Amino acid sequence: MGERGVKRAFKYRFYPTAQQADQLLRTFGCVRKVYNLALEARGRAWAEERRRISYAQTSAMLTEWKRTDELSYLAEVSSVPLQQALQHLHSAFTSFFAKRSKYPRFKSRKRSRAAAEYTRSAFAWRNGELTLAKMSVPLDIRWSRPLPEGADPSTVTVSCDAAGRWFVSLLVDVRNAETPPPGNSAVGIDLGLTSLATLSTGEKVPAPGFGKRDQTRLARAQKELARKQKGSKNQAKAREKVARIHVRIADRRRDFLHKLSSRIVQENQLVAIEDLAVRNLMGNRSLARAISDASWSELRAMLEYKCAWYGRELVVVDRFLPTSKTCSVCGLLRDPLPLGIRAWTCEGCGAQHDRDHNAAQNIVAAGQAVSACGGRVSPQRKPSGRAAGDEAGSHIARAMGVPAPEGRGDVKPRTPGRRSSSRPGSTPCPAAHG
């Protein structure tokens, strides 16, 4: 087995004392306030003077805010979480100017995540006990799993969810992380609603439908919440009851996806998935609830960082590649193939296909072509733009043994933490001609 250094976060639940909870709640409020003040200052400077403000300038502003009578309470909490909030805002603006994300939004007391991040200078880690700045006693943490031997946390994030549960996340540098031995196995994954994932091996993972199981219970709790008087204690209790149902659903779903993704990554050297436009699909009112409950995006995110952990390769196949209506045996392209047809027979070779299994087989074939190339499988595009799009899937189609599909057909390899970019004139995949 190989060994490599990776950073991993270990999350635990803890139970603060009344004094610790009060201190942390005030810290959350100060973090939110500093973030919003800095965002307002940066927005005003750009609107009025077309001037960008750096992190160092916002840090100097924070010092001035603490000296005012109105914001003097900012000095009562640790300064490190406040500085980290400014760092997060700076990162948000960096992503915005690089066109990777939208313009940063103000944090809300009701809707935003209540969290504070402490770096090494703002906490003490001694004999397996964690003590945060401005606190005299360590946190009462429930160690549900042990930390790696010799672990020394570099960052600590404390959070509180809507149900009132407290969590602490420890970022640890695992220098001798054991990884499974490399292999030759590859798997393609076709995501769906009836079956959450259909693997190219033929295995179908049924959709657990955790949200559907508690739908009646959630609807009843939401109805009770709507009947409470605004601002009353009963409304707060009813809101917490609704939140507890939501976190129960989310916890069960997350646990299921963690187990599924870990098994897939540990058993296969190459994992190929389809690039689904989940946000666009959520516009379908009939399927939005089921798509949200399936949580395809969360499964993809888990596969991405776990492939990086275990030294596996993840390939994201372009959504326009006709994987469902292309015969994985002879390559005949069937057109059209309505969503209601879940099984079909190829007119060319007579092979009988399950729609999802056939798509998964084509996805893994495309992923193997990308792996053989070591880059993006894409033909050389012509200056005419859209006219060249008809040839976009020619090389990957040959790799799959199928005729070139109509429209787009690129395959995009995905590296965790990096964005794939189109490279006109890229070298065609040699596997496409084999």
410 is an active site residue: no
CB 243 within 8 A of CB 289: no
Q: How far is Cα 88 from Cα 59, in angstroms, rounded to an integer?
A: 12
Query: Partners of 123 in the beta sheet?
Result: 132
Digit-coded pLDDT (tens) for 129-164: 999 999 999 999 999 999 988 889 999 999 999 999
Catalytic residue among 190, 304, 313, 318: 190
Q: What pLDDT is attached to residue 92?
A: 96
Neighbours of 268 (CB within 10 A): 25
Q: What pLDDT is attached to residue 45?
A: 94
The pTM of this model reads 0.79
Q: What pLDDT is attached to residue 393?
A: 42
149 is an active site residue: no
Digit-coded pLDDT (tens) for 38-91: 999 999 999 999 999 999 999 999 999 999 999 999 999 999 999 999 999 999
CA 152 to chain centre: 26
Residue 367: in which H helix or E strand, if any? helix 355-373
Catalytic residue among 117, 313, 356, 410: 356
CB 208 within 8 A of CB 253: yes
Q: Write phi, then psi, for 332 (nearest 5 degrees).
A: -70, 135
161 is an active site residue: no
Helix, strand, or coil here: 153? coil
Catalytic residue among 274, 293, 313, 318: 274
Q: Which amino acid is at 419?
A: R
Digit-coded pLDDT (tens) for 316-353: 988 888 888 888 888 888 878 888 888 888 888 888 88
Tokens of 14: 């803890």
Confidence of residue 189 (pLDDT cuts 50, 70, 90): very high
Tokens of 200: 């190219």
Q: What pLDDT is attached to residue 246?
A: 95
Q: How far is Cα 302 from Cα 290, in angstroms, rounded to an integer?
A: 20
Helix, strand, or coil here: 214? coil
